[in-house]
Amino acid sequence: MSNETMKIPQATAKRLPLYYRFLQNLHSSGKQRVSSAELSEAVKVDSATIRRDFSYFGALGKKGYGYNVNYLLTFFRRTLDQDELTKVALIGVGNLGTAFLHYNFLKNNNTKIELAFDVDQDKIGTSISDVPIYSMDDLEKYLIEEEVQVVILTVPAPVAQMITDRLVNTNVKGILNFTPARLNVPSSIRVHHIDLAVELQSLVYFLKHYPTNEVIEE
Ligand code: ATP
């Protein structure tokens, strides 16, 4: 959370999404400024309250001009974290890793694979879908520099723990583990484990034993 956000009173902060939505509509219809009276009418908040709210954002409306829509939108977006991307790195650009690099995660949410790592000299220095592939020698350096918070692990199982141990010295807070290895991590790191082979086996097991999709008693 930014310092600016912390200074805003809660009642004002609660009105932010309301202002934000309305300003987005104004922006898409091409309007560049708006008066507190217009805003007041649209969001049903009295204009004195709006003026006070906006003064917290450093937005001082000028008489006869109103507020700058772009300025407010930029401020709201930042404050509401609407445009904050979680940077993700992928380690192990094999078959599965390559598929992830081709997959556009941004379609669904605010995550983006920004960089990838491998030990294979043929892959290092190339890129896939504009994601550069770096050497494992530079793992900590780039993760820290790029402020990466999440790592997707698609390496062979035997090297998974060794790589995880190196992540402890970076800002990584989450690991999406696609290897069959069970990882030991300190409490500062959260691991989500997705073992595709196990999931598939489990599905086949259920199809065999519960073919009619009946409710299973616990
Ligand atoms: P491929 O067809 O490229 O062999 P794969 O998914 O079948 O892909 P794996 O052996 O599972 O191959 O390896 C996945 C990727 O992890 C490969 O690109 C490999 O070079 C990489 N890799 C292996 N060891 C390490 C390591 N210690 N650190 C980072 N990446 C590694």
Cα(112) to ligand 1 centroid in Å equals 21
Cα(95) to ligand 1 centroid in Å equals 8
Provide the b/e sequence for 52-81 (b: ≥16 CB within 10 Å). ebbeebeeebeeeebbebeebbebbeebee
5 three-class SS: helix
Cα(49) to ligand 1 centroid in Å equals 58
Q: Which CATH class is domain 3-77?
A: mainly alpha
Q: Which two tokens stand for residue 45?
A: 């908040």
Q: Which residues line ligand 1 (CB under 6 A)?
A: 91-97, 117-120, 136, 155-156, 159, 163
Atom of ligand 1 at shortest range from CA of 162: 27
Task: Give the pLDDT of residue 194.
Answer: 94
Domain limits of the chain? 3-77, 86-198
To test the pocket of ligand 1, the residue of 155, 159, 164, 179 to mutate (highest count of ligand atoms within 8 Å of its CB) is 155
Residue closest by Cα to atom 5 of ligand 1: 94
Residues 162 and 171: their CA atoms lie apart, in Å, by 17
pTM: 0.66
Atom of ligand 1 at shortest range from CA of 155: 16
Classified by CATH at the fold level, domain 86-198 comes out as Rossmann fold (3.40.50)
Please name which of 161, 167, 156 lies closest in space to residue 184, comparing C-alpha atoms.
Answer: 161
Find out whether 26 and 39 touch, Cβ atoms under 8 Å. Answer: no
Cα(107) to ligand 1 centroid in Å equals 27
- What count of Cα atoms within 13 Å lies in the side-chain half-sphere of residue 174? 9
The string of pLDDT tens digits covering residues 28-66 is 999 988 988 888 998 999 988 988 888 887 766 666 778
The string of pLDDT tens digits covering residues 77-131 is 777 765 667 899 999 999 999 999 998 776 555 788 999 999 999 999 999 999 9
